Amino acid sequence: MSTLIIKDLEPRQQYMCRVRVNTRSQGEWSNYLYAWTFSDRIPPAPYNIRFSNTTDTSSVISWTTAEGHSISSIIISYKIYGKAEYNHIDIIIKNTSITQYHLKGLEPNTVYQVQINAQNNIGLSNPNTSFELKTLPETKAPYESKGGKMLLIAILGSAGMTCITILLAFLIMLQLKRANFQRRMAQAFQNVVREEPAVQFNSGTLTLSRKAKNSPDPTIYPVLEWNDIKFQDVIGEGNFGQVLKARIKKDGLRMDAAIKRMKEYASKDDHRDFAGELEVLCKLGHHPNIINLLGACEHRGYLYLAIEYAPHGNLLDFLRKSRVLETDPAFAIANSTASTLSSQQLLHFAADVARGMDYLSQKQFIHRDLAARNILVGENYVAKIADFGLSRGQEVYVKKTMGRLPVRWMAIESLNYSVYTTNSDVWSYGVLLWEIVSLGGTPYCGMTCAELYEKLPQGYRLEKPLNCDDEVYDLMRQCWREKPYERPSFAQILVSLNRMLEERKTYVNTTLYEKFTYAGIDCSAEEAA
């Protein structure tokens, strides 16, 4: 493929171009291609703002943008009228051919102020006039008459009594099935030797001890019945485990779930870590930035773990798919962007993980395998920490067994002495932050694990990505301080990231600049122990 750079063009102009090949004779002309040159000034704000199809909780916003200003995104900000700040998250629309947006989740009978701005390679347009949007009053379906109310009450009362009777019968059957399930589950784990962790299931509780002589407090876990699981597709697979998408019934409700199970040739250590993950999820409880447990089930000797389903997959793949210069070069060049994700969205991912890890550290749990591949992207693009197979519920953990290690994410003290603390999780978080900024690059790409063992104690650290602001890189460097106690806590990291989000500065530059290159990816190096 040949490339020609055309220079000395005027800014904000549309050019048309065609080519042909000349040899001994002249070839045919190609079709015309049309392209705008980048702007040399900020764009004008969108105009002709209109609201339509307004309900009590939503409205469709339409606008018009001026051509020839290299507009790369449209930003919608909105707030309740009279409030000091636009406290809602901005809606960033990368595809500028879209000229309307369905704004949802509004409050009934409320006046909002709405601003729409355009952004190009130079910056953000000057704020336009705020437009008022008033939602309709909440709609309620009135009853036709008093007699209709009485009839409805009678029907509901009768139906309620029937439901209670059915529920009592169901609970009795469920208790009988659960007792049988617990007996089979205990039998499935009887082959674990005395030095290995002992796993016991009894009447909705799980007991996992490091030695048989220990008698730790049992952990209560939610039981999921085998017949309530409808498997769909395999969405992930490793050497010893598998993740499947499924529809499950829990508390009478149908919902999507991700089902984890071990393969038949998995080792005892793998089964131990898998049972340990169930124990950790039970003890952690619910948090919006941690993947939450839905239930556990045993079938024919296999343990099945149901966790909430994350529709956007893991963060590492999500970041790499955003490399639009590789997946859709025409869109990237037309919109002057290297990613479908904005600086704000990337920082939100980082803040979500820091918030979840702060909760984890408060519960005195160590993750030990914090990396972008172990972060899931859920509804509304919320990042959730997952994969607790290596987690430990203690302030300091010393690894005494052999196994594959995530070397490129490990702190110096973990590499040298196999010691893991919350401070070593902070080191791993710094590497994860580097992954986010580099849009899924491989840490220390081109270096072997042996070289890392040698160079990290000498002060070598990951280099700053070209699109990274100094303040973000300084936060990474703080996480990689040699002395663990000098590293920031997750609470301090979260404060720094929240401040960056409030300032609305471009801390991660995703604009396409000359000779732009992505950080390298080496999947084989990521899998190396």
Of residues 486, 351, 371, 474, the one with CA closest to residue 429 = 371
pLDDT band with cut points at 50, 70 and 90 for residue 149 = low
> With 70 as the cut, is the pLDDT of residue 383 above it?
yes
Question: Tokens for 493?
Answer: 């990291």
Q: Is 272 helix (H, G, I), strand (E, B) or coil?
A: helix
User: Cα-Cα-Cα-Cα dihedral of 7, 8, 12, 16, to 10°?
Assistant: -60
Beta strands in 82-228 (DSSP E): 91-93, 100-103, 111-119, 131-134, 198-202, 205-209, 219-220
Q: Find out whether 140 is annotated in a ligand binding site.
A: no
CA 159 to chain centre: 42
Terminal-to-terminal C-alpha distance of the chain: 39
Q: Look at residue 271 and give its three-state secondary structure.
A: helix
Using 50, 70 and 90 to split pLDDT, how confident is the model at 195? very low
Q: How far is 333 from 343, CA to CA, in rounded Å?
A: 18
The span from the CA of 120 to the CA of 40, in Å, is 10
Confidence of residue 359 (pLDDT cuts 50, 70, 90): very high
- Annotated catalytic residues are 369
Highest mean pLDDT among 159-168, 409-418, 488-497: 488-497
| Mean pLDDT, rounded, for 415-432 | 93
Integer Cα distance of 161 and 35 in angstroms: 70
- State the Cα–Cα distance between residues 56 and 466, nearest whole angstrom: 46
| Strand 59-64 relative to strand 47-52, pairing | antiparallel
Q: Is 74 exposed, middle or buried (0-12, 13-18, 19+ CB in 10 A)?
A: buried
Residue 472's H or E segment, with its range, is helix 470-479
* Mean pLDDT, the chain, integer: 81
pLDDT of residue 427: 97
Q: Band of the pLDDT at 399, cuts 50, 70, 90?
A: very low
For tokens 């122990």, the residue is 529
pLDDT confidence bin for 12, thresholds 50/70/90: low
Which of 389, 402, 395, 448 lies closest to 422, judged by CA? 395
Q: What is the dihedral of CA 493, 496, 500, 501, to 10 degrees?
A: 60
Tokens of residue 126, six digits: 């000057």
* Helix pair angle (343-362, 422-437), 10° resolution: 170
Angle at 250 between CA 246 and CA 255, to 5 degrees: 40
Query: DSSP class of residue 379?
Result: G
pLDDT in tens, 222-257: 888 899 999 999 988 876 788 999 999 988 899 999
User: Which residue from 124, 126, 137, 133 is spatially nearest to 101, judged by alpha carbons?
Assistant: 133
What is d(CA 449, CA 11) in angstroms, rounded to the nearest whole number? 48
Nearest to 55 by CA among 108, 2, 115: 108
Quote the tokens at residue 201.
């299931």
| Amino acid present at 137 | P
Phi and psi for 24 in degrees, rounded to 5? -75, -25
Percent of the chain's residues with pLDDT above 70: 81
Number of neighbours of residue 511 by Cβ within 10 angstroms: 19
In this prediction, residue 193 carries a pLDDT of 31
Q: What is the pLDDT of residue 431?
A: 98
Q: For residue 130, what pLDDT is reported? A: 80
Q: Name the token pair of 470.
A: 């100094």
3 compared with 174, residue with greater pLDDT: 3
Give the pLDDT score at 499. Answer: 95
> Could you tell me the CA-to-CA distances from 179 to 47, 74, 227, 408, 458 in Å, in that order?
66, 58, 16, 45, 58
Percentage with pLDDT > 90 across the chain: 34
Per the CB < 8 A criterion, the answer to whether 224 and 295 are in contact is: yes
pLDDT in tens, 61-84: 888 887 767 777 788 888 888 877
Q: Does the predicted model carry a pTM greater than 0.85?
A: no
**What are the pLDDT digits (tens) for 34-43?**
776 776 678 8
Per-residue pLDDT band for 398 (boundaries 50, 70, 90) equals very low
The tokens of 459 are what?
A: 């002060």
Top-confidence residue, 134 or 398: 134
Domains of the chain: 47-134 (2.60.40.10), 221-309 (3.30.200.20), 312-528 (1.10.510.10)
- Pick the closest to residue 262 from 296, 297, 303, 292 (CA basis): 303
Of 529, 417, 437, residue with least CA distance to 479: 437
Q: So what's the pLDDT on residue 256? A: 94
Query: 305-351: per-residue pLDDT in tens?
Result: 999 999 999 999 999 999 998 989 888 888 899 999 999 999 999 99
Higher pLDDT, 381 or 24: 381
Does 142 have pLDDT greater than 50? Answer: no
